[in-house]
Amino acid sequence: MTNNPLRNEPFDQVYQSYFNDLKNTLCFHRDLNLRTKLKFTYTAMHGVGYEFSVESFKSFDHIPFIPVKEQIHPDPDFPTVIGKFFYFRNFH
């Protein structure tokens, strides 16, 4: 199946196109982004999205954000979440 000529993996093309669009059509204040003193912290939702967020910041010429390293990679056990089931246990 992987050698089928009708098979097409569009990820690379879509990825490049998406970030080119961010850079060329949505960034209106590149000069301000380069000079800002603001610092951003990134905490991944369920450990996904880190690579896309890094590329998004690059597309806008932001300085790199500060990641919460313990939450960059997917971990179904959610070890950094305290009281993760509190809401469900106490809401009948």
Give 57's pLDDT tier (boundaries 50, 70, 90): very high
Specify the higher pLDDT residue, 84 or 21.
21
Residue-wise burial string across 38-59, b where 16 or more C-beta atoms lie within 10 A, e elsewhere = eeeebebeebeebeebebbbeb
Q: 33-47: per-residue pLDDT in tens?
A: 999 999 999 988 777
Averaged pLDDT of the chain = 84
Whole-angstrom Cα distance, residue 66 to residue 52?
A: 14
Residue 71 CB neighbours (<10 A): 20
Full-model pTM: 0.72
Parse the chain into domains and list their residue ranges. Answer: 11-89
